Structure 1
Amino acid sequence: MRVDPREIQLKDGIAVMIEDYYNGTYGWNTIVPWPGRCQLIIELVHSSEAVVDLISQRATLVNLNRGFRGIFDNDDVECDINLSDPDSTTCDYSQKSRGITWYCNKPQNITSCPERVPTYKIMKKDKTVLGDQPLFKTGVNWQTEISNSGAMFYAQGTTEDFPRSSFKCNLRTASIRSKHKMSSHRPTGYFHEGRWVSLLCDNHIIPLMRECLKHKSVYVIGDSTIRQWYYSLQTQLRLRDTGLYDNKCWSMPRDGINLQDDIRIHYRAHGNPLHSSGPPESRPYIVDTLQTINGTRPTAVVFNIGSHFLPYDPSVFIQRLTGIRNAAVMLHKRYPSVQFFVKGATRFRSTAVGPLSDWLYLRTDRILRGFFNDLQYVRHLDTWEMTSTPQTNIHASEDYIEKFILLFLSYYC
């Protein structure tokens, strides 16, 4: 279910946690932070039968969405975490101790498996990604408003009554925010006049970006949603880009530098499974990137991972996170001053670009949030709540990207 109370004129809103009473009824409780006319939207995202279908399909460990083809000279073969039709000889590129599982069928024109796959291309499969179609009918039992949704109500008060936190945003309050229990029905923030207002700390006072990041390095690591951070920072900080360029491969490494303020921003992808065609340098594993970081200068690492793992059982995702967690612990031991931030998932209405269920994104977000919960130096950026109301696309607009970056800066600076 999704509950969305919003202010009529400004389309501001607040994320709501819903409690399942396990008897066919649900409840929710939230503050309404803006005075005036409001509207209550209540939506059925999935039936329980649909959720069971999503879980059972992903338990097969077979990617139903995209196919990976490894290109070896003039031959291309299937590659994946678990091959749907493995040949008699399989090339094993797994690194189990580092949380990495990956196989390719052996090309017929070679005698032994190459050390690495020269390049990849992505093939879209014909199989459905939303299970049993009768359970996924838009406007019937999938992403449809329930009866009486849209009811109007009036919230009393003035702008002076807006709830705010008295705690200053810093690395300590970021840790507190990360430990915010998912079972809690208290939201972590809300939108007012297009601005995110944190309820865990006062995020209104943010120093100038260039002053904050002067003489610092920031690594943004992950899929295309974190790559957007790099391009936004490149524009705002007027970075000179020195990365490799390939207009057919979005995941190539990017490196930007502002010589005047000695600011360095780096983008790296997160490795297979990654829905991007390209050479090996376009898909480094996060554990490899973390091992290369030199933390002798002030450094922040912001990473995200999850959306490219949605077609698989969560055990695959947990295995990968285990390797990343171990690499983060080792980096912290080498350079205790390095600061880590985990960007949460982005909630969006399913589209042709990202047709997978946002329930799967929610599951991924909760796993990601809880996995680093006991590491005090790893903070969670709750982009799920920020994109729950109002909703956005899987690739959020520049306005949203700037809000995400401001949230990060409010803690880091």
Structure 2
Amino acid sequence: MVKPSTEKSKTQVCRLRHYALLLACFLWTSFCLALWAVNGGIHIKQFQPPRPKPVPQNNSYSITSAFDMGIGDEEWERLQKAIDWSIPDQEITRLDQSTSPVHSTFSIVGLKESYKVGEKISVTITARDHNKNLKRYGGDFFKAKLFNTQLKASVYGEVVDHRNGTYSVPLLLPWEGQAQVFVRLEHSSEVVQILKKYRDSSFPRSHYNGYFEGSGPDKTRISEVVECNIKWGADGGWRKGDCCCEYKDIRTGTVWLCERPKKLSCDKLVHHSHGVLENPLNSFEKQLFAMKLTDVAISGDKKILNGLSNTVANGAVEKCRTGMTTPVPAGFYLKDVWKSFVCNTRQFSPAQMANCLKNKIVYLMGDSTTRQWFEYLERTVPGITRLDLHTHHELGPLMAVELKNNIIIHWRLHGVPLQSGKMPITDLPYINNYIDTIAGGRHAVIVFTYCAHLVFHPITFYVHEVAKIRQSVVSLLSRAPETTVIIKSGNTQGLKNIFQSDWNVLQLDTVMREMFKDIDGVIFLDVWQMTSCHYLRENIHPEPVIIANEVDMLLSYVCPA
């Protein structure tokens, strides 16, 4: 039985709670009425426009740490700053808000009747949307050059983004005679925003095939084809759970995943090939990528400029060596010959090529663009012969020798991920692992490119892979400092879709250049400018006239004048 005093106490507590609740409701109502009065009696609700569908996977770019990539926090901050690109401050949901190549224009500042060779021509680009409104933010991907069709002359111009819808291009006039300005909208800032979104995502755009082969219980041969991809990012891969066979490289730490075959064990993986390309774009994003909105020349001052001088810029006179910086422009074409502003490059006759490569072992690695160099040397160096290694004539590995001058040239593809035809996966070593097997020395020339096949994957994965390559290059130069190590930049590709865009290539090139800029003994060949300004249409596989100039530049470093 409860005592009366206790019941009275409980009653008082309940009354106090009741009064407190009434007071709280009164205060909240007063606050809402005051807020309503401040807003003029209008109920305000922030408008949220419909947005494109989100990326269907977690964002690996934002949560992958510098430690995971194998670099320090300071370097990662520096890389992020180097690849920083202005984009719209919100997702664009209407096509007419995007940059219009029809209404965007360029003009020559302080246009004159004539210019002297070596003088700079200043160009301003003004971006407008489809309603002819000036853009208030930057991020458009323009390409610019100065050219003369008759002279087969051209020079690259770097576009400077002022992040307010205007851009400037300082164009050098390096030849005597006429010239014209050309500007093209490669991608609107709205398209770049989409490219960046998917580049920073772990969403797999590229899929691959793994071929398993072995014997069944009754000794019959079994073949199975499954899907494969890298294991990277927050979700750890494109498949979940105990789905897959894992292949972790000891040196790089890179993990390759293949769906587990139904009948064969994981150790029966034999071949690799490209699979399907998965387009993640929604209908609105596909409209922004439409060809009429991208890769379009914009209108502007078409006046013929006159370069007056009795001489022509002859490029640099210093011998080609390591440690040289790449200016903008890095050189120019005249009569289809590249004249470098970096160092004294020259044209090599077939006999001079053989003499330059005498007693050299050349290791070319990367993708099909370095295979083009192999094929050019194979066609041009007298007496060189390709050996039959019983491999595919394009997929390799390939090897050619010239016995009189003791020349050996190797070429092979880099490791997975790689878009290729069916080939043995054992023929796809990672670049750093291959470099680790090379003794090096004054007779060794190592050339690699690592770009085109990586645009399908997160940039954090690219940084991880380049960090491992750098580690192997540093070790090589430590044990054999006389080794010639050359990095070939990516080239413009002429493809404007979500799978292969020059904006992605430029970003990866920037990362590669930044990560190797402080490494003594490494040469960086900038073929981006060589392919960007040439009169021939950009192609993922540049035409022979461009390849010839690239190889001449390569040999100018191997055998400086």
For the aligned residues, what is the CA RMSD? 2.3
* Aligned equivalents of 1:2, 1:283: Cα separation in 2: 35
1:162 and 2:321 equivalent? no
Verify: 1:28 aligned to 2:28, yes or no. no
Residues 9-408 of structure 1 aligned to structure 2 (within 5 Å): 9-64=150-205, 66-73=206-213, 74-82=223-231, 83-86=237-240, 88-95=242-249, 97-98=251-252, 100-110=254-264, 112-114=265-267, 117-127=269-279, 132-140=285-293, 142-148=294-300, 151-158=302-309, 160-167=311-318, 169-172=319-322, 175-177=323-325, 180=326, 186-204=328-346, 208-237=352-381, 238-247=383-392, 250-276=394-420, 277-296=422-441, 298-350=443-495, 356-390=500-534, 391-408=537-554
Contact conserved, 2:204 with 2:457, CA < 8 A, in 1? yes
Q: Please list every run of 5 or more consecutive structure 1 residues that lacks an aligned counterpart in the other structure.
A: none
Q: How many Å apart are 1:166 and its aligned residue?
A: 3.1
Using the alignment, how far apart are the partners of 2:154 and 2:441 within structure 1? 42
Q: Closer, same or farther in 2 for the Cα pair 1:96/1:59, shift >3 Å? A: farther
Q: Relative to structure 1, is the Cα distance of residues 42 and 195 closer, same or farther in structure 2, using a 3 angstrom cutoff? A: same
Query: How far, CA to CA, are the matches of 1:405 and 1:29 in structure 2?
Result: 28
Q: Which amino acid aligns with 2:292?
A: G
Q: Quote the Cα distance in structure 1 between the aligned partners of 2:401 and 2:251.
A: 34
Which has the bigger relative contact order, CA under 8 A and spacing at least 6? 1
Contact 1:342 1:380 in 2 (8 A): yes
Conserved? CA contact 1:342–1:379, under 8 Å: yes
Name the amino acid aligned to 2:156. Answer: A
Residue 273 of structure 1 aligns to which amino acid in structure 2? P
- Per the TM alignment, residue 59 of structure 1 is displaced from its structure 2 partner at its CA by 2.3
**Aligned-pair distance for 1:99?**
5.2
Work out the CA distance in 1 between the residues paired with 2:390 and 2:151. 40
CA distance in 2, matches of 1:126, 1:318: 23
Query: 1:159: how far off?
Result: 5.1
Partner SS state of residue 157, structure 2: coil
Within 2, Cα distance between the matches of 1:135 and 1:97?
42
Gaps of 5+ in 2: 1-141, 214-222, 232-236
Q: Name the CA distance, whole Å, in 2 between partners of 1:261 and 1:360.
A: 41
Q: Check conservation: 2:347, 2:552, Cα contact below 8 A.
A: no
Query: Which is greater in Rg?
Result: 2
Q: CA deviation at 1:244?
A: 2.2
Q: 2:280 & 2:297 partners in 1: Cα distance?
A: 24
- Check conservation: 2:496, 2:502, Cα contact below 8 A: no
Residue range with higher mean Cα deviation, 380-389 or 151-160: 151-160
Bigger mean CA offset, 317-326 vs 343-352: 343-352
User: After TM superposition, where is structure 1 displaced by more than 6 Å over at least 4 residues in a row?
Assistant: none
Distance 1:188 1:262, change over 3 A: same
Q: Aligned partner of 1:264: which letter?
A: I
Q: Say whether the 8 Å CA contact 2:204–2:278 is kept in structure 1.
A: no
2 CA distance for matches of 1:61 and 1:32?
44
> Is the 1:139–1:145 contact (alpha carbons within 8 Å) kept by the matching residues of 2?
no
Q: In 2 relative to 1, CA 129–372 (structure 1 residues): closer, same or farther, beyond 3 Å?
A: farther
User: 1-side partners of 2:312 and 2:211: how far apart?
Assistant: 61
Distance 2:244 2:374 in 1: 37
Q: What is the SS of the residue equivalent to 2:304?
A: strand
TM-score normalized by the length of structure 2: 0.67
1:257 deviates by 0.9
Q: Could you tell me how far apart the structure 2 residues matched to 1:303 and 1:118 are?
A: 25
Secondary structure of the 1:295 match is coil
> CA 1:79/1:355 → structure 2, altered by over 3 Å: closer, same or farther?
closer
Query: Which range moved further: 122-131 or 227-236?
Result: 122-131
After TM superposition, the score normalised by the length of structure 1 is 0.89
How many matched pairs?
Answer: 397
Is the CA contact (8 Å cut-off) linking 1:20 and 1:26 kept in structure 2? yes
Q: Secondary structure at the match of 1:220?
A: strand
